[in-house]
Structure 1
């Protein structure tokens, strides 16, 4: 997949950070942080581009991916307060409390175009799934919520796994029943590392597909571009 991004190089003290954003907003995609269940709701374009952004984050160990989602079109169903999304590798050591200062410095970005490798993403996702069958597997997405932003910190493989989940939702979401009527369809979910003192209650984010209105224009795969006219009523 080809991703069109904007790249920023803000500094905090002696440190320079590399931060990228989608060049064009994901207008029909929204996210609410888990409490205990979050919701990632998007159309085909939004979920597909998010899959690409997770894949890019997986292989960009020194880059922070920022996806502004609060200013899109408000969804007409779902729950929770909308938040932005930030992706980063564990090893960067980024703290959520740093983000407001960095976000204020995201000005004068430069255009950047990158390509993701779906075959490599699928291989690394499969490697992650194979390890998760072991009792001592601990390769999970860590998370934090701060300043109306949801942060996900992970390794290459767990970010690649999440990319494949989003690609699945983007590809198969349009085939679900009732989506043509404007109803969201639950597709999958990703679980999160349990925070300290949580009592063992798992947190997760549901991934749901929903086309954008007007729904009369939406066609499920295989349907004709225009519906046949209704037969004239009998006199």
Structure 2
């Protein structure tokens, strides 16, 4: 997948940070803070680009991926406070408390075009799933919410696994029942979130597909434009994820 990004190089003292954002906002995608349940609601374009951004984050351990989601079209369903999303490799050591100062410096970005490798992402995700059942398994996603931003900190393989969940939601969401009528459909969840101590309701971020209105104009990926009074051949449903 090709991703058009905007790159920033803000400095804090002697340190330079590399931060990227999508060049075009994900207008019809939103995220509510997981307190303890969060909802990520997106259309095909938004979920597909999130899959690419998670894949990019997996192999860019020195880069912070910032996805502004608060300024998109407000969702007509859901719950909780809307937040942005930041993906950070756990080895980078970025503290959420330092983010507001960095965010204020994101002013003059430069264009950046990158490609993701879906085959490599799938291999690393499969390796993550193979290890996930071990007793000593610790390759998880750590989550924190600060300054109206949801931070996800993880490794290459867990980001790759999360990318496959978003790819599945983007590919299969348009074929779910009644989505053309404006209904949202649950497609999965962000995997392997570290749970807070003390029990209680588990921390979770649900991934849901929903097309944006007007729903009468909704077309599934690959479906040709239909003129009034004419039918179109429905494209083949994508193969089920392994």
TM-score band w.r.t. shorter chain: over 0.9
Question: What stretches of structure 1 move > 4 A for 4+ residues in a row?
Answer: 221-224
CA distance in structure 2 between the partners assigned to 1:122 and 1:193 by the alignment:
22
- Map 1:24-63 onto structure 2 (within 5 A): 24-63=24-63
- Map 1:1-235 onto structure 2 (within 5 A): 1-191=1-191, 192-195=193-196, 197-199=197-199, 201-220=201-220, 225-226=225-226, 229=229
CA RMSD in angstroms, aligned pairs only: 1.5
Unaligned runs of 5+ in 1: 231-235
CA distance in structure 1 between the partners assigned to 2:55 and 2:81 by the alignment:
26
Tell me the number of residue pairs that the alignment of Structure 1 and Structure 2 aligns: 229
Query: CA offset at residue 223 of structure 1?
Result: 6.2
Retained in 2: the 8 A contact 1:39–1:206? yes
Q: Deviations over 1:3-25 (max 9, x none)?
A: 00010000111111000000110
TM-score with structure 1 setting the length: 0.93
Q: Deviations over 1:142-185 (max 9, x none)?
A: 01000000000000000000000000000000000010000001
Q: Which is worse superposed, 27-36 or 217-226? A: 217-226
Retained in 2: the 8 A contact 1:194–1:200? no
CA distance in structure 1 between the partners assigned to 2:11 and 2:160 by the alignment:
28
For 2:177, what is the secondary structure of its paired residue? coil
CA distance in structure 2 between the partners assigned to 1:109 and 1:228 by the alignment:
44
CA distance in structure 1 between the partners assigned to 2:139 and 2:224 by the alignment:
44
Gap change, CA 1:55 and 1:183, over 3 Å in 2: same
Q: Which one has a bigger Cα radius of gyration?
A: 1
TM-score with structure 2 setting the length: 0.91
Gap change, CA 1:218 and 1:30, over 3 Å in 2: same
Gap change, CA 1:114 and 1:221, over 3 Å in 2: closer
Unaligned runs of 5+ in 2: 231-242
